[in-house]
Structure 1
Amino acid sequence: MLPDCIQLIDNPAGKTFVVIDHPQVSARIALEGAHLLQCTPKGQLPLLWVSPDDPQLPGKSLRGGIPLCWPWFGGDRPAAAHGIARRAKWVLSTATEDSQGVYLRFDLPAACISEQLPGEPWQVYVEFRLGAGIDGQLTTTNVGAEPMKLSQALHTYLPVGSIHQARISGLDASCYIDALDGWTHKTQAGDVQFNAELDRIYYGNGDNLYLHAGDNSVVVERQGSESVVVWNPWVDKSLRLSEFPAEGYLRMLCIEAANAGPDARVLQPGEQHTLGTRIQHAD
């Protein structure tokens, strides 16, 4: 039985969401993809950006929030980009509340994994603790007899008042792979700022990051992550993206806790790894 503050509700298109209306936080999570779409702590601005153009249809991944990229990121395999988790049907296995917020756990059924990833005996679940901030943890175990490669990301869309004023600190002197310049390796100088399309994998850095975005500035902490993806599609790509407004790039950017690029992991039989992110408004 779910706590009174948590309900399962279908939208007009028939897509099922876990809707949280707690005194400390309101939030919405799609069962498909275990996809945290919205989270607003009491008396604060939303922590996540979601596309107003997305019809949120059943069977379709959502544009915004925190899509789960698992068990590969980007084009690490010739199959569909970002893995199977975003469109899979997860199971809400635990939902509790206390005075500070809510806790939810979603499991990806073993039958789904064996059907879509034959020969890859993974076990995976995601946990969300929602209240004054977002605490999300994606835990993967290799339950097979052979080592298996894992790359992944918590593909977090964050809102900004204007991309022209937004900047990210905490990555100065970090190495990164520039996906828009032949996957060349470069070094960051100063804060990350935006004046064109940007798509980078920063690696060798597990520090806290700070998004300076006026009233909606946030701090992003990471767990089990030495890489972070920073992305904004800018003008031309915005026009090519599905379910994305033409000027949406002005109001969002992505800071994604990841195990990507040189930070991809190899899990030995029985080994477990947790990728986590904690997001809260900066003081």
Structure 2
Amino acid sequence: MTLVLPDCIRHSRNQAGKAFIDIAHPAVSARIALEGAHLLQCTPSGQAPMLWVSPDDPQLPGKSLRGGIPLCWPWFGGDRPQSAHGIARRAPWQLSAAEQDAEGVYLRFELPADCIAEQLPGEPWQVHVEYRLGAAIEVQLTTRNLGEQPMKLSQALHTYLPVTAIQQARISGLDGAAYIDALDDWTHKTQAGDIDFTGELDRIYYGTSAAVQLHDAAHPVVVERQGSESVVVWNPWQAKSLRLSEFPANGYLGMLCIEAANAGPDARLLQPGESHTLGTRIRPANPAAAHVITQDSVQ
């Protein structure tokens, strides 16, 4: 059955042929790539864009996108010897639900079973992602183990956020939290005070589900998490920026990543029939500027 889309949602392609879902709602404009079910852009009405996207990315079919919220699934980083961050970022997802109300839109994407079987033989996963977009961004990535054996799951919502100037940005909410420093031989350390940025930073904070706040002159946001006791904080700084694909040499100055995750010690072991939802909600730091969008409110 063909899915009937609300008037504010339509299919499109860029000049290279990459397929997108475009949202033009009175409360929010957004773009999601069908490859990866990748939320690339989201701008609430009257606000600045909430996500950072590389201006150097040609956004080609079959290629991962640099920016927005890549879905790292069903493994994060180098947890397996295959390509980093799993299969979801390049896979062809299917839009299975699209609804709107006065406050925004709700969309659901599913990764087809035959795609999972082809790329992960012997791993009977089922996975879908839900987006609720309006004054805030809400993402829920739900995985179920359909097999007869336990299966390990690590994952992240690899969120790229804009900042005015990286040297003035800071992150609060993780004082006293343990973290793994990927730049220091994966040493376990403890955060003291706020996080600031004076060089490359790549850390997995774990053992905490607390919300964190990005303090920035033009883009202050709060990042909340669901089903997550780990959060990844990353900025490549200058030298690594030069080695990254589709990334401007000075791109590190205007972005950082705060990623709701199940990473490091927070990787999950899903028993047969068990499901797990990893979620994040990103809202303006001024609580009055955001409104919770729930599936129940979408008609």
Taking structure 1 as the reference length, what is the TM-score of the superposition? Answer: 1.00
Deviations 1:69-116 (CA, angstroms, capped at 9, x unpaired): 000000000010000000000000000000000000000000000000
Deviations 1:251-280 (CA, angstroms, capped at 9, x unpaired): 000000000000000000000000000001
Q: 2:108 aligns with which of 105, 124, 139?
A: 105
Q: Secondary structure at the match of 1:249?
A: helix
Q: 1:54 aligns with which of 57, 60, 71?
A: 57
**Aligned residue runs from structure 1 range 120-269, under 5 A:** 120-269=123-272
**Aligned residue runs from structure 1 range 37-76, under 5 A:** 37-76=40-79
Distance in 1 between the 2:86 and 2:131 partners? 20
Please list every run of 5 or more consecutive structure 2 residues that lacks an aligned counterpart in the other structure: 287-299
Q: CA deviation at 1:154?
A: 0.1
- Letter of the structure 1 residue corresponding to residue 56 of structure 2: D
Deviations 1:32-65 (CA, angstroms, capped at 9, x unpaired): 0000000000000111000000000000000000
Counterpart residue number, 2:122: 119
Large movers: runs of 4+ above 2 Å: none
**Aligned residue runs from structure 1 range 84-103, under 5 A:** 84-103=87-106
Alignment coverage as a number of residue pairs = 283
Q: Secondary structure at the match of 2:218?
A: helix
- Letter of the structure 2 residue corresponding to residue 185 of structure 1: H
Distance in 2 between the 1:167 and 1:218 partners? 11
Q: Secondary structure at the match of 1:113?
A: helix
- Letter of the structure 1 residue corresponding to residue 221 of structure 2: V
- Letter of the structure 1 residue corresponding to residue 39 of structure 2: L
Counterpart residue number, 2:289: none
Deviations 1:197-239 (CA, angstroms, capped at 9, x unpaired): 0000000010000000112100000000000000000000000
Q: Secondary structure at the match of 1:136?
A: strand
Distance in 1 between the 2:82 and 2:264 partners? 17
Distance in 2 between the 1:126 and 1:78 partners? 25
Distance in 2 between the 1:13 and 1:280 partners? 32
Q: Secondary structure at the match of 2:242?
A: helix
Q: 1:272 aligns with which of 272, 275, 280?
A: 275
Deviations 1:143-188 (CA, angstroms, capped at 9, x unpaired): 1000000000000000000001000000000000000000000000
Counterpart residue number, 1:36: 39
Distance in 2 between the 1:190 and 1:182 partners? 22
**2:13 maps to 1:15:** no
| Identity, % of aligned positions | 77
Q: Secondary structure at the match of 1:114?
A: helix
- Letter of the structure 2 residue corresponding to residue 60 of structure 1: K
Q: Secondary structure at the match of 1:216?
A: coil
Distance in 1 between the 2:49 and 2:90 partners? 24
Q: Secondary structure at the match of 1:111?
A: helix
Distance in 2 between the 1:209 and 1:17 partners? 30
Distance in 2 between the 1:268 and 1:168 partners? 35
Q: Secondary structure at the match of 2:12?
A: strand
Distance in 1 between the 2:153 and 2:140 partners? 15
Please list every run of 5 or more consecutive structure 1 residues that lacks an aligned counterpart in the other structure: none
